[in-house]
Amino acid sequence: MSALTFELKGKPGQRLDMSPLTPARLKDLKPKEIEALAVGATRVALTVGDLFKVKGKDASALRFVGTDARCDKIGAALTEGEIVVEGDAGAYLGAAMKNGKIEVKGSAGDLAGASMSGGNIAIDGDAGERAGGVLVGDTLGMKGGLLTIGGNAGPLLGERMRGGFVIVGGNAGDYAGGRMIAGTILLKRKVGRFAGYGLRRGSLIFMEEPKELLPTFGDCGVLEFNYLRLLEHWLRETGRPIALGGRARRLMGDMAALGKGEMLILA
């Protein structure tokens, strides 16, 4: 059975709220009922049929074709199934999702994976501010799951992150891991200023040494870490081969906060 596909008819003239279009919401609906669903918009009231050509039948696997940065909340609060975005995504991609899988062939806007507690988000391109961070109205950032960003990430990556794993293939902006409580962020390229600001617990792993390190981190020297080897093995087994080795320079902090977190700079 072919995936239920939503092909955008033309570039939207306003921001769209795509959160109603999830497998759990659509699985028991007929094609005409799906086309009649309202899509939240900033100016003119619209339905799915006004915006999209709808094809396919398998609601457990959704495809969005031709979307752009005005298509917000794709996969928000996702609880099951799979979503593939053949284009860009707007803000709140996969925000507060609990399970399932989202794959974006392009880039995503701000707050991708914000306050998510489970599932898997893979973004081939860039992500905006606060990826894996705090959803508006919530108190904690990402709580679980896996967020992979192939390109660059904006400022405040993983802000108040409580759990889960984030991988950034490109550069990251300022305050990466800011006020982080738990979880792991792996940064493959350069990172901006104030990484680990207010870090309470959790791990920031750098494949390149940051140009600026906060003075509130204590340098423990270069040490051997078996869990880095285990992490490398897990990454390889899940189709993400990243060479980590087993040695890293460890910095404990942020001593201006609880101070039980760590930044590891691969040696």
| Residue 206: inside a domain | yes
In a domain, 83, yes or no: yes
Which two three-digit tokens encode residue 193?
Answer: 């200023």
Q: Cα 211–217–221 angle (5° rounding)?
A: 80
Please compute the mean of the pLDDT values over residues 166-180 and round it to a whole number: 98
* Residue entry with tokens 């199934």: 81
Looking at the predicted structure, is the pLDDT value of residue 192 above 90? yes
User: At 211, is the pLDDT very low, low, confident or very high (cuts 50, 70, 90)?
Assistant: confident
Q: What percent of the chain has pLDDT over 70?
A: 100
Query: Domain span at residue 151?
Result: 61-266
- What number of helices (H) and strands (E) belong to the chain? 4, 17
Residue 167 falls within a domain, yes or no?
A: yes
CATH code assigned at 177: 2.160.20.60
Q: Map residue 35 onto helix, strand or coil.
A: helix
pLDDT tens string 95-146: 999 999 999 999 999 999 999 999 999 999 999 999 999 998 999 999 999 9
Position 81 in a domain: yes
Q: Report how many domains make up the chain.
A: 1
Q: Is residue 80 assigned to a domain? A: yes
- Provide the pLDDT for residue 267: 94
> Looking at the domain assignment, is residue 111 inside a domain?
yes
pLDDT tens figures, 70-90:
999 999 999 999 999 999 999
